[in-house]
Chain A
């Protein structure tokens, strides 16, 4: 058994920490929508170190580092509250590397690696949230067969207002084909017929609705086989399990809240200390479950259950920390723009995005405990 990073990994961690010194005040983790130019600049600076292609194979210009370095990078970025890991260099690039045509790889990967091209994930719809296989947005070939025409609506898209391209899951088969009738497309966000409409969220950021009105997408921008997207998106999700909910964010929340309590002369209250002890333990639990996910990735084991456990622990701990400070912090914790009230609002979103807690609990109860429900 070994729970420590290797000397090389620790050295990389130190390098990342030093790099992030220049981005301490960026604060792009929670409200990227308000910081996008700065976050984009951060990604460009990371690209100069080729960190956006940290785990890509060398053949595609990557550094071919393992999941531990990737975890270290995005965990440190989360602890610094600088940004969240971008979709483009993760899910999009890994899918293109695995399933893209040579032309697609040549077209998209260099720009993604350089931090010049960013994507928004367009999976969910008004009537297809957790049940993604029931989505309706159509992708039909035009009469000449040169393009697909996308028609329909997506909903709950993160960062779509700022991104360059949309990573669209659409129905190319019949509705009753469920997951077997879905295809994946790269769609220019500025193509005719695309409309992005904001849905302001309670953390001060926004999600979006994205409307597609006969939007033309070249055949060359379908990724993978027609009707073959379901296993591809599952695989892409699995690639990212170790970096989706980095525990550095939770550790930083705890430290910030402890500092806030001290600054407001509440750090010695025995009731608060008891509660903060429980939260400290919960943060340790979050960290160790994240390590379990990482270990599964390192060993090439299926991490579905570990990732579901990690997601629940991570997100409920975020909420517990913020709620505790609001519970005990008195009126001062209510002041707009302060960290406690922001975390209180923001953490509510965490148990919903990226798979609700109910879905995660069902994964654990089915796959680990052999139960239905």
Chain B
């Protein structure tokens, strides 16, 4: 009985990862994450879009569903701490009509996805399109007349304004699954980068005549981070694989993908935050400097964990699956 079990990306997906990674390295993207309050790099965003980074999420564009490609791209962007509303863009492309999503696909429009009832709009000062996520799904809002800039922990300028719902968008389920996969993949990859760098530091920095990594008080928390990230990253990939296998029907297979994506998101949130905190501690003195190796990544992780979508909906979904329905 030949097993089909395979947790590796295929050659095409690896090629996409390599292309995005080259692009990010050429533009020294990771360095831009150190800046605070700078205008959003629209030109860089457009170039990323022109590479085709958002096309896999376009309904009908990818035969298999495109979630694995989204996952692979989001991992790469996470590794390079790429700025911008990546998951929200994937979601918007899934839920909007093609004529509305085309400017998102080519990077000419930027989307802000905020939580229902909140006046804080991620990337709100730059956004051209406003979506709201709530318990009942996704709605499109009218663009506000004025958006007040709000500096944030992540170094990005968000905005504050009161949104007015324009119309509810049907069937946001697939978009939310894709967004959760994207966020989980991004978070775990950013945290893996931090973990690798902290491990290199621990392997070379000596105190009391030994490298830091020879002290179990240092190496074991790092091992726990690796375990959490490994699980979260593989869950995101499994969710993507399940989504692509579910096809277009609202079947039990889609339900499985939905649960896996919810689990991946919550797993990635916890694992990446934990990794950020452990790595700050391992870096010690240089871990608390603004120019040091940790803060520009840890604040991005912290910011993304609290950025919509993602919340109570995922909890209810997972609890219902184990018999603890609301």
CB-CB < 8 A to A365: which residues of B? 213, 219-220, 222-223, 226
Q: Does A278 contact B (CB under 8 A)?
A: yes
CB-CB < 8 A to B7: which residues of A? 1, 3, 291-292, 295
Q: Quick one: closest B residue to A312, CB to CB?
A: B227
CB-CB < 8 A to A358: which residues of B? 216, 220
Tally of A interface residues using CB under 8 Å: 55
**Chain A interface mostly:** helix
Q: Quick one: closest B residue to A63, CB to CB?
A: B1
Q: Does A35 contact B (CB under 8 A)?
A: no
Q: Does B291 contact A (CB under 8 A)?
A: no
Q: Does A144 contact B (CB under 8 A)?
A: no
The CA of A8 and the CA of B5, in the complex, are separated in Å by 13
CB-CB < 8 A to A12: which residues of B? 1
Would A369 and B219 be within 8 Å (CB), given that A255-B322, A289-B234 are in contact? Answer: yes
B318 engages A280 (CB within 8 Å): yes
Q: Convert A242-265 into 0s and 1s, putting 1 for each residue whose CB lies closer than 8 angstroms to a CB of B.
A: 000000000000110011011000
The CA of A67 and the CA of B2, in the complex, are separated in Å by 10
| A267, A366, A372: the one within 8 Å of B324 (CB) | A267
A369 engages B267 (CB within 8 Å): no
Would A372 and B5 be within 8 Å (CB), given that A255-B323, A273-B324, A281-B267 are in contact? Answer: no
B226 engages A292 (CB within 8 Å): no
| B9, B211, B319: the one within 8 Å of A372 (CB) | B211
A368 engages B226 (CB within 8 Å): yes
Question: Interface centre among B210, B238, B267, by most A CB within 10 Å?
Answer: B238
Q: Does A192 contact B (CB under 8 A)?
A: no
| A295, A312, A361: the one within 8 Å of B5 (CB) | A295
Q: Would you list which residues of chain B between 261 and 311 have a CB under 8 Å from chain A?
A: 263, 266-267, 270
| B3, B230, B232, B240: the one within 8 Å of A292 (CB) | B230
Q: Does A277 contact B (CB under 8 A)?
A: yes
CB-CB < 8 A to A371: which residues of B? 199, 202-203, 211, 213-214, 218-219, 222
Smallest CB separation, A79 vs chain B (Å): 14
B238 engages A361 (CB within 8 Å): no
| B230, B235, B324: the one within 8 Å of A276 (CB) | B324
Q: Would you list which residues of chain B between 44 and 59 have a CB under 8 Å from chain A?
A: none
Q: Does B251 contact A (CB under 8 A)?
A: no
| A258, A267, A295, A309: the one within 8 Å of B226 (CB) | A309
Q: Quick one: closest B residue to A267, CB to CB?
A: B324
B2 engages A6 (CB within 8 Å): yes
Q: Does B104 contact A (CB under 8 A)?
A: no
Q: Does A364 contact B (CB under 8 A)?
A: yes
Question: Interface centre among A66, A267, A361, by most B CB within 10 Å?
Answer: A361
| B238, B263, B326: the one within 8 Å of A291 (CB) | B238
CB-CB < 8 A to B222: which residues of A? 365, 369, 371
The CA of A268 and the CA of B326, in the complex, are separated in Å by 7
Q: Does A220 contact B (CB under 8 A)?
A: no
A289 engages B223 (CB within 8 Å): no
Smallest CB separation, B267 vs chain A (Å): 5
Q: Would you list which residues of chain B between 192 and 234 have a CB under 8 Å from chain A?
A: 195, 199-200, 202-203, 210-211, 213-216, 218-220, 222-224, 226-228, 230-232, 234
Q: Does A65 contact B (CB under 8 A)?
A: yes
Q: Would you list which residues of chain A between 7 and 54 have a CB under 8 Å from chain B?
A: 8-9, 12
Q: Quick one: closest A residue to B196, CB to CB?
A: A369
Smallest CB separation, B269 vs chain A (Å): 9
Q: Does B4 contact A (CB under 8 A)?
A: yes
CB-CB < 8 A to B242: which residues of A? 3
A68 engages B224 (CB within 8 Å): no
B223 engages A364 (CB within 8 Å): yes
CB-CB < 8 A to A299: which residues of B? 6
Would A361 and B220 be within 8 Å (CB), given that A285-B232, A289-B234 are in contact? Answer: yes
Q: Does B68 contact A (CB under 8 A)?
A: yes
Question: Interface centre among A6, A281, A289, by most B CB within 10 Å?
Answer: A281
Q: Convert A112-153 into 0s and 1s, putting 1 for each residue whose CB lies closer than 8 angstroms to a CB of B.
A: 000000000000000000000000000000000000000000
CB-CB < 8 A to A309: which residues of B? 226-227, 230-231
Q: Quick one: closest B residue to A268, CB to CB?
A: B326
CB-CB < 8 A to A3: which residues of B? 5, 7, 238, 241-242
CB-CB < 8 A to B267: which residues of A? 281, 284-285
The 3 closest A-B CB pairs, nearest first, are: A371-B213, A372-B214, A373-B219
Query: B residues touching A (Cβ–Cβ < 8 Å)?
Result: 1-10, 13, 68, 195, 199-200, 202-203, 210-211, 213-216, 218-220, 222-224, 226-228, 230-232, 234-235, 237-238, 240-242, 245, 260, 263, 266-267, 270, 314-315, 318-319, 321-324, 326
23 interchain pairs (CB within 8 A)? A1-B9, A2-B5, A2-B6, A3-B241, A3-B242, A5-B4, A66-B3, A69-B1, A267-B324, A284-B231, A284-B260, A284-B263, A289-B234, A291-B238, A294-B5, A298-B5, A299-B6, A309-B230, A364-B223, A368-B226, A369-B223, A371-B213, A372-B211
Query: A residues touching B (Cβ–Cβ < 8 Å)?
Result: 1-6, 8-9, 12, 65-69, 254-255, 258-259, 261-262, 267-268, 273-274, 276-278, 280-281, 284-286, 288-289, 291-292, 294-295, 298-299, 309, 312-313, 358, 361-362, 364-366, 368-373
Extra pairs beyond A284-B263, A299-B6, A371-B219 (19, CB < 8 Å): A1-B9, A6-B1, A6-B3, A255-B323, A262-B323, A276-B324, A278-B270, A280-B321, A281-B267, A284-B260, A285-B263, A291-B7, A309-B227, A313-B231, A361-B224, A364-B223, A365-B219, A370-B203, A371-B202
